[in-house]
């Protein structure tokens, strides 16, 4: 009888350990949820916004204990299948990276109202005929399950324009875009406004090639992939006298940086600190206009973990850390301390005014 009691105790103890082990699994890796990213073209290591967004996921994994995953889109036909794959896998949050994914994100969100989504660099905007609305401007569905993440990028681009005007040796700077999307031209507008503000403050006449903010017309290479196009456009603008160029075209800008390294002109990077993401072009990078998608991703994942919602729309600004200027790295000696101080003061003034538009109006 005593042996039977010992066996029973042992069995009960083993059962208790099994239950405890199961409980530990619930609290282990991924217990806080599974968060998933669908990339746009360029891949997860595009040295631009896909990579920056993924850094936010990696930070969320480390700080919040979530499980993370990504699927790469080679072309537009991959968007919908990738989103559906993550729904099938049971992702708690699906983040689609880039306005190109708007239509497929909207379609999926309307059909899967319990699934949480966020889309980077997109509204949703309910104007007639948009990805999110019908021909009359009526939202396709309520979209309470989608968080739009956008960036008031002209704020940081303004600082880059002021900086460029302050150190150009030829008196000519330039910019060009990939495709004339609003998320591209907002960089170009801010850059040109920064140059104009410098001219007004200093009595100079620095020219901007490649973009006219008055007519909203400029140079676009027609894609976000071809580094050959970036090289050719950079060389062309440099031939016209531009010694600092802002390419707003994703990986296309790497071709411009390659030309800059060979020819000795400077490039302003976009989205991430391209001195770090593309170090092979080191001294070619003057600075980068930081669109801190990692900040937005971490904020969104935190909302999902803590509230089971994606939260209100996120607009990245200088004030909330969603935007910034990267360090000057190898070109720090080119930037006078006085100019650096002026840029820091301009940043503070823009924040205090409530944004660039209010600052310029004031």
Q: Are residues 49 and 145 in the same domain?
A: yes
Question: 167: domain CATH number?
Answer: 3.40.50.2300
Contacts of residue 216, Cβ cutoff 8 Å, sequence gap at least 6: 185
pLDDT for the residue numbered 27: 33
For residue 316, being part of any structural domain is answered with no
Range of the domain at 342: 154-290+328-361
Residues in the chain, pLDDT under 50: 1-30
pLDDT digit string, tens, across residues 313-347? 999 999 999 999 999 999 999 999 999 999 999 99
Q: Are residues 126 and 190 in the same domain?
A: no
pLDDT for the residue numbered 161: 99
pLDDT for the residue numbered 26: 33
Among 151, 174, 201, residue at a domain's last position:
151
β strands within 216-354, DSSP E: 217-218, 244-248, 266-271, 285-291, 314-316, 323-325
Q: Are residues 76 and 209 in the same domain?
A: no
For residue 255, being part of any structural domain is answered with yes
pLDDT for the residue numbered 336: 98
Q: Are residues 261 and 248 in the same domain?
A: yes
Global pTM reads 0.84
Q: Are residues 42 and 111 in the same domain?
A: yes
Please give the torsion angle defined by the CA atoms of residues 66, 71, 73 and 76, in that order, rounded to the nearest 10 degrees.
-80
For residue 163, being part of any structural domain is answered with yes
For residue 312, being part of any structural domain is answered with no
Taking the C-alpha atoms of residue 266 and residue 296, their distance in angstroms, rounded to an integer, is 29
Q: Are residues 112 and 174 in the same domain?
A: no
Cα distance from N-terminal residue to C-terminal residue, the chain: 91
For residue 202, being part of any structural domain is answered with yes
For residue 81, being part of any structural domain is answered with yes
Q: Are residues 73 and 191 in the same domain?
A: no
Q: Are residues 135 and 158 in the same domain?
A: no
Taking the C-alpha atoms of residue 150 and residue 49, their distance in angstroms, rounded to an integer, is 12
Among 151, 185, 220, residue at a domain's last position:
151
- Say if residue 29 is exposed, middle or buried (CB neighbours under 10 Å; 0-12, 13-18, 19+): exposed
Among 151, 179, 203, residue at a domain's last position:
151
Q: Do 177 and 237 touch, CB atoms closer than 8 A?
A: no
Q: Are residues 207 and 100 in the same domain?
A: no
For residue 313, being part of any structural domain is answered with no
For residue 303, being part of any structural domain is answered with no
Q: Are residues 206 and 145 in the same domain?
A: no
Q: Are residues 130 and 199 in the same domain?
A: no
Number of domains in the chain: 2
Q: Are residues 176 and 236 in the same domain?
A: yes
């Amino acid at each position: 009888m005593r042996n039977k009691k010992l066996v029973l105790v042992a069995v009960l103890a083993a059962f208790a350990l099994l239950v405890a082990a199961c409980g530990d699994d619930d609290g282990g890796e991924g217990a806080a949820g599974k968060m998933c990213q669908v990339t746009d073209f360029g891949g997860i290591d595009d040295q631009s916004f896909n990579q920056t967004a993924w850094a936010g996921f990696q930070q969320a994994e480390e700080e919040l204990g979530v499980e993370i995953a990504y699927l790469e889109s080679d072309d537009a036909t991959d968007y919908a299948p990738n989103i559906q794959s993550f729904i099938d896998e049971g992702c708690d949050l699906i983040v689609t990276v880039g306005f190109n994914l708007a239509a497929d994100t909207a379609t999926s969100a309307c059909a899967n109202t319990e699934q949480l989504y966020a889309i980077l660099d997109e509204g949703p905007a309910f104007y007639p005929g948009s990805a999110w609305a019908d021909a009359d401007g009526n939202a396709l569905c309520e979209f309470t399950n989608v968080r739009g993440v956008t960036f008031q990028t002209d704020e940081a681009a303004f600082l880059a324009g002021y900086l460029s005007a302050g150190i150009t040796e030829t008196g000519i700077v330039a910019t060009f875009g990939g495709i004339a999307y609003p998320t591209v031209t907002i960089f170009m507008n801010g850059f040109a406004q920064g140059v104009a503000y410098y001219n007004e403050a200093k009595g100079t006449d620095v020219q901007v090639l490649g973009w006219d903010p008055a007519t909203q017309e400029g140079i676009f290479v027609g894609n976000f992939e071809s580094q050959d196009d970036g090289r050719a456009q950079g060389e062309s603008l440099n031939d016209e006298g531009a010694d600092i160029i802002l390419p707003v075209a994703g990986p296309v800008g790497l071709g411009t940086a390659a030309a800059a390294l060979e020819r000795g002109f400077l490039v302003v990077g976009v989205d991430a600190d391209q001195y770090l993401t593309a170090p092979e072009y080191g001294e070619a990078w003057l600075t980068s206009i930081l669109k801190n998608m990692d900040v937005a991703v971490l904020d969104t994942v935190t909302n999902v973990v803590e509230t089971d919602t994606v939260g209100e729309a996120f607009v990245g600004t200088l004030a909330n850390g969603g935007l910034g200027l990267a360090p000057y790295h190898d070109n720090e000696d080119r930037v006078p301390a006085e100019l650096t101080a002026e840029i820091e003061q301009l940043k503070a003034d823009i924040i205090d005014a409530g944004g660039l538009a209010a600052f310029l109006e004031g």
